[in-house]
Amino acid sequence: MADTLAIFGGTPAVDVSKVVNWPPIDEIDEKMVLDALHQPNQARGVHNMALEKEFCQWNGNDYALFTNSGTAALHMCLVGCGVGAGDHVLVTAYTWSSSATCILHHDAIPIFVDIDPETFLMDPDKIEAAITPRTKAIIVVQLHGLCNDMDKINAIAKKHNLKVIEDACQAHGAMYKGRKAGTLGDCAAFSFNQNKCLCCGEGGMFVTNNEEIYKGAAKLWSFGEVARPEENRDYHAYALGWMYRNNEITAAYARAQLSKYDFYFNTLRENGEYLLKNLAGTPYLLLPYEPEWATHNWYNFNLRIDFAKLGISEPAAQEKFRDAVAACLRDEGLRASVWQRFILPDMTVFKAKNAYGGGYPWSIPGADEGVDYSLEKFPNALEYSRKHISVVQTLRAPNGLDIAEQAVQGIKKVFNSLDTLDPDKVFEVLEARKNK
């Protein structure tokens, strides 16, 4: 039964009883959270302030604000950079929805740019063609924990007088030419949600080295006020503000996790490199690539199916086959998933061009000029969305090379069988399970 796929009754390659769930919790987390519970101020107190300081020190930023999500931090970036109603903001066509809905939150309009087929990131060579007279900023998503070619992007931004915002929500510790994500543009947003390499349940961090951007973002963060809650407040809304702050218990948990981050990062790097080396040459498998400029954090280790070699060309057939392969990997004990099956221009909120009713913000006079979300403009993003499978969490600390080796065996076992795999048979098994 060794080579029979687990989905058809074989033995799973990964011993899931040995895989530690993410995030690992120890006495450091327990002690910190308990301390926060006993603080007199559970809204914004010592842990919030300490977390911001520690994050700045760890990442190399001058200013940070702890938020209740990465999406909130992204919205703060836009406001800090002075983006306003009817402005255009460039963003990759393949990412998490809120990398672009954050633009709508300030009545600005996303302009999508297709991805590079090898990095899966916004293709820097397609940026200039997407710039319009209304473009104010570029959101560079350091997707899956891989930094884009920032020298190239910053040079284009400088030439066209655009701000550069990093969506570093997945990129804690990832580097570009030895410099950390979150220090590579004008400002950046991190997410600390459950799946992230640095996690505190839900949360995020806004960071910048620019005082003006910080001041603008800070107003949005806390009711439009100029003073921070720990300062002498006049409770006056100087600008449109939201309530994007976080609390002490979550901050304490984030501090505990940050204190262990270097171990998490190094473990994930080692596991990612192990997979890259040991999966090379696996049939029908396209591996991710780490460009010479980048230090990946392997937030997401992406497998792609080589459909050209398999001879499957029809998009619906590719998707069905990919979903069957992901199911096989899961039964081998891997945390495999399809991270994002829709490209953004294919999502209803953008297709309908209606966010706030009345067609806003696209109905702002003149704002929709040159805005075209036709799917044909994004062939690389579309192709990628059909053929990738993400392996997350299995490779996270404290799971080490023993688990990484089992993951390699599971992936090889599934990909070695692709030329005979019948997706209908896989779905029959899944259906039968549902009906049990």
Ligand X SMILES: Cc1ncc(COP(=O)(O)O)c(C=O)c1O
Q: Which is nearer to ligand X, 52 or 167 (CB)?
A: 167
Residue of 114, 123, 167, 248 that binds ligand X (CB under 6 A): 167
Q: Which residue is nearest to ligand X (CB)?
A: 70
Which SS3 state, helix, strand or coil, does residue 268 take?
helix
Alpha-carbon span 308 to 345, nearest angstrom: 25
CA dist 315 and 305 (Å) reads 13
Q: Tell me how many residues contact ligand X (CB under 6 A).
A: 15
Which region among 106-114, 145-153, 165-173, 226-234 touches ligand X (by CB under 6 A)? 165-173
Q: Which element (helix H / strand E) includes 247?
A: none
Q: Which of 180, 196, 412, 413 is catalytic?
A: 196
Q: How far apart are CA 232 and CA 253, in angstroms?
A: 27
If the CB atoms of residues 123 and 332 are measured against ligand X, the closer one turns out to be 123
Give the separation between CA 70 and CA 55, rounded to whole angstroms: 15
For ligand X, the binding residues in 183-222 under the rule CB under 6 A are 191, 193, 204
Burial readout 388-423 (b: 16 or more C-beta within 10 A, e: otherwise)? bbbbbbbbbbebeeebbbbbbbbbbbbbbbbeebeb
In angstroms, give the least distance from the CB of 29 to ligand X: 19
Shortest Cβ 179–ligand X spacing (Å):
19
CB-wise, 139 or 256, nearer to ligand X? Answer: 139
Examine residue 288 and say whether the peptide bond preceding it is cis (omega within 30 degrees of 0).
no
For residue 213 the two structure tokens come to: 């951007």
- Applying CB under 6 A, which of residues 135, 170, 246, 247 lies at the interface with ligand X? 170
| Smallest separation, CB 193 to ligand X (Å) | 4
Nearer to ligand X, 165 or 327 (CB): 165
Q: Among positive and negative, which fits the CA dihedral 94, 96, 99, 103?
A: positive
Write the binding mask 113 to 152 for ligand X: x where contact by CB under 6 A, - elsewhere: ----------------------------x-x---------
CA 167 to chain centre: 8
387 counts as catalytic: no
Q: Which is nearer to ligand X, 91 or 327 (CB)?
A: 91
CB of 251 or CB of 426, closer to ligand X: 251
- Residues ≥6 apart with Cβ < 8 Å to 428: none
CA atoms within 13 A on the CB side of 309: 12
Asked whether the beta carbons of 258 and 251 are under 8 A apart, the reply is no
Subset of 57-116 contacting ligand X (CB under 6 A)? 69-71, 95-96, 98-99
CA distance linking residue 238 with residue 223, whole number of Å: 9
Answer yes or no whether residue 169 interacts with ligand X by CB under 6 A: yes
Least distance CB 100 / ligand X (angstroms):
9
**Would you tell me which residues interact with ligand X (CB under 6 A)?**
69-71, 95-96, 98-99, 141, 143, 167, 169-170, 191, 193, 204
Residues annotated as catalytic are 196
